[in-house]
Amino acid sequence: MNRTLLFFKKYRWALLSGVLMGTSYIPLPPWAIAFCWVPLWWDLITNTRSLKEAFIKGWWTQFLLTLIGFHWISHVAHEFAFFPWPIALATLFLFAALAHLYIPVAAVLAVWLRGRFALSAGVVAVLLACFQNLGEAFWPSIFSWNLGYPLLWIHSGWAQWGDVIGFLGLSFLVHLINSQLTWALLNRKSRKAWMSVGVTALLVAALGLTGLGRGDKWQGQDSFKATLVQANIGNLEKIYAEKGVGYQRSILERYFSLSRQAVEADPGTQLLIWPESAVPEYLDAHNTQRRYAQLFFDGVRDVNRDLFTGAYSNDTPETRPREDYNGIFLFDGQGRALGPSYHKTNLLIFGEYAPLGHLFPILRKWNPGGEGFGRGSGPMTYDWQGLKIGPQICYDSLYPNFSRNLTLQGADVMINLTNDSWFGPRFEPEQHLYMTLARAIENRRPLLRSTNTGISTVIEATGFEHVQSPKFQEWFHTYEVKYLKNAGLTFYTRFGAFLSLIPLLVVGLLLGINARGTSRLERNSH
């Protein structure tokens, strides 16, 4: 038997799990999320004896699912870092090799604990679910995904339970279903095993059905009109504008032209919302005399509508060290600032900051994304026409606690500004969209998302999704956004900071029960 056949014979179940997971992730139908881990976990429990073998099997699973679900990384490397395609593809393979190493680490931990404490197959299956979920929660990741997000993508009633346990909690439930099916497969000759599968199926259906009406009580009583403006600015145009070598005027003219059209189409709109870094200029009070800042403020006064926009910000000239920021500004129709600028808190590694760049400044010079930005001081809110607005920039939305803290600060609505133009037309825009929209369910606050190239939309606190923008087209749309003033806090908003530790408590409980049972057996044997 040749090496290729030997390889597939040894790792076929790990590879199958990778394919099942990779082909179930947004924007593909999540057809296999309930059993995607079963082949790997069954193999780890029945056919794996060494820790090295456990790691390699887990590694192949994570490599393959990352290669399928996050293939757009090569597009980013080519489009953003200007890597030739061979190097861009090598970047993708390197990312797939390292991105989700918590999966093989979880495999090693489970196999080691099984041998150390003589754990039953069922306990090991549950431990695998716990370790997977802990990895999703705490493993450092560029793009933190979990198995809860596909439930929102398909508008499952399950997603509406995100206001109780968060989408990470929903992912844990999906992992527990995988562990239950793994146990049933291991005990497939037992009638009890198949009865348990039936009970699980009933619980899944019950959670889905009861979730469908959960958002109704969050139906907004008041409303305001907001217009999302998507100018579809190309990447080269943005790069040249950021470097000050052209396109600043044409970019501003496109945004103001679309905004004037929007106001003419619906004069009742109260707030224009432009996306992340829409304005290729610094708009702080100490920068108002700059050429394109003056052009911007003239345009605002001409349109005469309040404007919430992404732009650049920097420290005052006397500040040392002086930093640039990826910022958000809120202006009234006369160009007056309605609060301080928000500075993006969660920066994208290499794209917006160089690791260790502050300790070794030369790293900022070598960084493919340029010298990058300073880091903001955290969540803040704007007061606007009696509302509290919680701003987010792009990557901020991938951190559930960031949106929790906006809500705890009193945000009535959240507004997310994003630029996904670097990531290509498929997979990443949908993935990023639903990871962002999940924050609205968890905290039961409306969320407005304005992007440069799509997908722009609004989701209400109920979970109702409004019309979505096309991708890579100029577009604007005015929404009537319903909200509850001073709405209550969800269970998740109150306690979400602790819910991610539940799998750790389950691990401790299982090991404690096992140790107590072992001790009792030893006493009885004497």
Q: Which residues are catalytic?
A: 276, 344, 394
Do residues 235 and 451 touch, judged by C-beta distance below 8 A? no
Nearest partner of 270 among 309, 230, 305, judged by Cα = 305
Amino acid 350 reads F
Nearest partner of 306 among 339, 265, 277, judged by Cα = 339
Do residues 389 and 382 touch, judged by C-beta distance below 8 A? yes
Residue 34: phi and psi, rounded to 5, are: -75, -20
3-class secondary-structure state, position 337: strand
Instruction: Kindly give, in sequence order, each residue whose CB lies less than 8 Å from that of residue 4, ignoring residues fewer than 6 positions away.
Output: none
H helices then E strands: how many in the chain? 18, 12
For 135, the token pair is 């990895």
d(CA 37, CA 39): 6
Instruction: Kindly give, in sequence order, each residue whose CB lies less than 8 Å from that of residue 291, ignoring residues fewer than 6 positions away.
Output: none
d(CA 403, CA 131): 25
Radius of gyration of the chain (CA): 25
Instruction: Kindly give, in sequence order, each residue whose CB lies less than 8 Å from that of residue 38, ignoring residues fewer than 6 positions away.
Output: 17, 178, 181, 182, 185
6 sits in which H/E element: helix 3-22
